[in-house]
Structure 1
């Protein structure tokens, strides 16, 4: 069909003989069933990779969905005279909720960059001052390399900022396999090193099982969360108060643990800022609990013994900067670009702002918090006000200048053991970073909520 915005473009780009420009350009490959045969004609396909010696260009078409660009068609393009001078994948202007890119390096079409006044939808890089850490602060465990020769890839379950996530079968168990192309080795190393930090084992953090290579690709092996991301879960499930309570409590507990530091058996666990909290980067496990994942933007922090202030550092950041995450969930001060990045405290405060939005996202989907019989529909923060793909300018105006936050329904005037859910959210997403709760305080408040929903009189009056 030629009804899709990229169809005519791709139809004109079938692989035809031409002088070789680059030996076997390797592009990430993805095609829907209706486009698979046409897409394969542009070069040899092996798994998720397409090889074509007749082109220097990779292409990608991405659908804008819930504020993120989801790959819809990836592969080689070989139209004679096609120009692709950029080595990385920069988005065109949106057309019918699609963006496309052309780029000229191996696997460059795997990750698309959408720029809004120098701010990226994926991880943005902001220069910061490096701090010197004591040798013991971030001790990495021994390498967890494992042999992936007998691994079985079954199906793609998600696309991250840097990698594709597969469901697979390994050593008799279903696992999640986060596969990084060879060109993104540094992103693989950065996330692996976070998982390899001592004391990163917690029920609220995705369990790391090992890492290895599969051909030229790098792979993180993780526990499989059978219910997928929180975004997917809320889009396909209706939650009552009991299940919502478990989700919000375990989510906050996981972040509180990530933000904590302690010494255990002579080993120091540092404070870690996630820096990309979103419902796409939280997993829902089979028991209905949450686990944090996707630490590609995370920062390991340390305590300065002299100033007692958190200091940020990044060991192996590809471009030498702090990386922040998804636009929808960025705090006002990060959207404005006016945070003090010489101190890691602002990163933790940014995480708590994102946590507040996630808690709202969960609670607004709770069927027991409604006074009518309408099934709650999952929406992202600010989607009702700005649509699924807001620009930086739109968010700056709404969130920072007007100080608007997601709408809290009138029937949420629910008081539980002395404080309201509304008060909790407002304390998490306060415009003043210093006025926000800590992750641990948020977890403690949520832990005090009763298992049985207690509704105040105002709920019925509303």
Structure 2
């Protein structure tokens, strides 16, 4: 668009310069037959001149005629023989006026004294008038109007081209309808590493129909023209939720997770894909996004999100079947805090090169806005094989525009899992225009997750712990309503019970303090994610030092 604008300015400048040159080369001549009494010539054209014609009629009476001609080469150099007359040509303003030509009698005397062969004549006295073209001032006006028309037409053309470009950009930035044949939209900020540790090389989608992130890779890295959905074999269903189902699938020998949305839930699919495709959206404690695609099932269309697969499942499933030691507790908590800190932080990136398994991948610079999750809970956190955790399910997340201090306004700010809703969400006092309000609500939910982790931690002082329970299990039913949760959390200001054995262990006591500072009723009193992360780093380092001793 900028190139078109620059070319347009240069074109207008060239026209203006040409118009100025034309004006500088114009000369005004006296014209006996023009309505304005003058005519115009262009001295850049060697065939246009002012002239004055001296003639004798049949009775030897003299007359003078002044005008312009566009046949100067013929008119000013003629050697014809018949009725005598003489032509004088010139190219200055009013050079053929009465005060700038010789006396008529002198001219006629010269004509009569010369021989017939030397007279400067046309074949007849009228031929010169017929062969000359007399231009009056109206012709200059017409040319100016024509130039104006050229400028207007050019301006309209450029504006049309810019408008067309804007429409194409708008269409490219908006998501296509679900019944179209979507092309793979891989995330290429960072290579995907499967279970076997071999990264998928960054691949560029077909730009004619794609809407994924990443571009500029060499042609040999372009993927197969088949969509990724056709290359994945679904193996088993591993979960269900409000959106649809999650399947384990196989892609090029590696396990992947396939989150399948129904076509009528396209907005949720588009929203989560859009968040994952945010620039620099790569962190070891955020679920790795691979691609988005669709699968035609005949009478309906499935919308797919393909992500990394973690066989240990969600934190909820893991805690339901396993207990933790102090070190596992801190690693779980720290990795979640790290992912939440990453989401809540604004990041301005730089360009560089990433080396993975001997291959260099170009990492483009970008900007990641701060993001609030809005549905932090143990079911939306996965346990990785290295016993760290990663946050997933970003379908309800909102981004913050720090430049204008604006939040992407969600259609409803009272969303999430009711059991994990913060007090200000339950009583509908959260300020939807303040991004920090959403961050504080995330921290409250994170405090409940920390309570779940600590409740399943065994140590020397507590070798046996109770079976896994969800937060507030002692107060509400398995599927509580908003009003039930509001009464417990807001009116009664209850919190999940903390076991007495926590007081017998130093790290559980530290965790208890951290949990309480996260689930304060007053949002302003809650810790920031970064503060929680730093506290957990200190706990971990202290534990490591004890082990070394």
Q: Same fold (TM over 0.5)?
A: yes
Which SS does the other structure have where 2:231 is aligned? coil
Match of 2:406 in 1: 311
The yes-or-no answer on 1:383 pairing with 2:482 is no
CA distance in 2, matches of 1:343, 1:178: 31
CA distance in 1, matches of 2:391, 2:417: 15
CA distance in 1, matches of 2:482, 2:413: 19
CA distance in 1, matches of 2:283, 2:232: 26
Gap change, CA 1:261 and 1:213, over 3 Å in 2: same
Which of 281, 284, 289 in structure 2 is aligned with 1:208? 289
CA distance in 2, matches of 1:450, 1:172: 36
Structure 2 unaligned blocks of 5 or more: 1-210, 216-222, 351-364, 545-549
CA distance in 1, matches of 2:539, 2:330: 8
Give the drift of 1:400.
0.7
Question: Could you state the TM-score of these two structures normalised by the residue count of structure 1?
Answer: 0.63
Match of 1:403 in 2: 493
CA distance in 1, matches of 2:417, 2:383: 19
The yes-or-no answer on 1:336 pairing with 2:427 is yes
Equivalent residues in 2 for 1:5-24, closer than 5 Å: none
CA contact (8 A) 2:327 2:540 kept: no
Give the drift of 1:238.
1.6
Gap change, CA 1:359 and 1:232, over 3 Å in 2: same
Which SS does the other structure have where 1:426 is aligned? helix
CA distance in 2, matches of 1:142, 1:323: 34
Of 401-410 and 199-208, more deviation after overlay is shown by 401-410
Give the drift of 1:351.
0.1
Give the drift of 1:171.
1.6
The yes-or-no answer on 1:443 pairing with 2:511 is no
Match of 1:135 in 2: none
CA distance in 2, matches of 1:389, 1:418: 29
CA distance in 1, matches of 2:494, 2:295: 47
Which SS does the other structure have where 2:228 is aligned? coil
Match of 2:213 in 1: 141
Which of 222, 247, 268 in structure 2 is aligned with 1:187? 268
Cα deviations across residues 39-72 of structure 1 (Å, max 9, x unaligned)?
Answer: xxxxxxxxxxxxxxxxxxxxxxxxxxxxxxxxxx
The yes-or-no answer on 1:392 pairing with 2:482 is yes
Gap change, CA 1:236 and 1:399, over 3 Å in 2: same
Equivalent residues in 2 for 1:54-73, closer than 5 Å: none
CA distance in 1, matches of 2:462, 2:403: 52
The yes-or-no answer on 1:224 pairing with 2:309 is yes
| Structure having the larger proportion of residues in helix | 2
Give the drift of 1:294.
0.5
Equivalent residues in 2 for 1:168-183, closer than 5 Å: 168-183=249-264
How much is the aligned-residue C-alpha RMSD, in angstroms? 2.5
Cα deviations across residues 308-350 of structure 1 (Å, max 9, x unaligned)?
Answer: xx53115xx6xx3446210110000100011111111111000
Give the drift of 1:419.
7.8
Gap change, CA 1:243 and 1:202, over 3 Å in 2: same
Which SS does the other structure have where 1:246 is aligned? helix
The yes-or-no answer on 1:359 pairing with 2:359 is no
Question: Could you state the TM-score of these two structures normalised by the residue count of structure 2?
Answer: 0.53
Which SS does the other structure have where 1:385 is aligned? coil
CA distance in 2, matches of 1:440, 1:289: 18
CA contact (8 A) 1:299 1:322 kept: no
CA distance in 2, matches of 1:221, 1:264: 25
Match of 2:248 in 1: 167
Q: Report how many residues are paired.
A: 307
CA distance in 2, matches of 1:414, 1:359: 18
Q: Which has the higher contact order (CA 8 A, sep 6+)?
A: 1
CA distance in 2, matches of 1:197, 1:382: 35
Give the drift of 1:165.
0.3
The yes-or-no answer on 1:236 pairing with 2:308 is no
CA contact (8 A) 1:140 1:198 kept: no
Which SS does the other structure have where 2:287 is aligned? coil
CA contact (8 A) 1:356 1:429 kept: yes
CA contact (8 A) 2:341 2:529 kept: yes
| Structure having the larger proportion of residues in strand | 1
The yes-or-no answer on 1:432 pairing with 2:522 is yes
Cα deviations across residues 54-108 of structure 1 (Å, max 9, x unaligned)?
Answer: xxxxxxxxxxxxxxxxxxxxxxxxxxxxxxxxxxxxxxxxxxxxxxxxxxxxxxx
Of 260-269 and 432-441, more deviation after overlay is shown by 260-269
Which SS does the other structure have where 1:324 is aligned? coil
Give the drift of 1:372.
4.1
CA distance in 1, matches of 2:493, 2:471: 14
Give the drift of 1:301.
1.3
Greater C-alpha radius of gyration:
2
Give the drift of 1:170.
0.9
Which of 218, 221, 238 in structure 2 is aligned with 1:157? 238
CA distance in 1, matches of 2:324, 2:340: 22
Give the drift of 1:389.
2.4
Equivalent residues in 2 for 1:261-340, closer than 5 Å: 261-265=346-350, 266-304=365-403, 310-314=405-409, 320-322=411-413, 324-340=415-431
Cα deviations across residues 325-383 of structure 1 (Å, max 9, x unaligned)?
Answer: 10110000100011111111111000000000000000010012x73443431111101
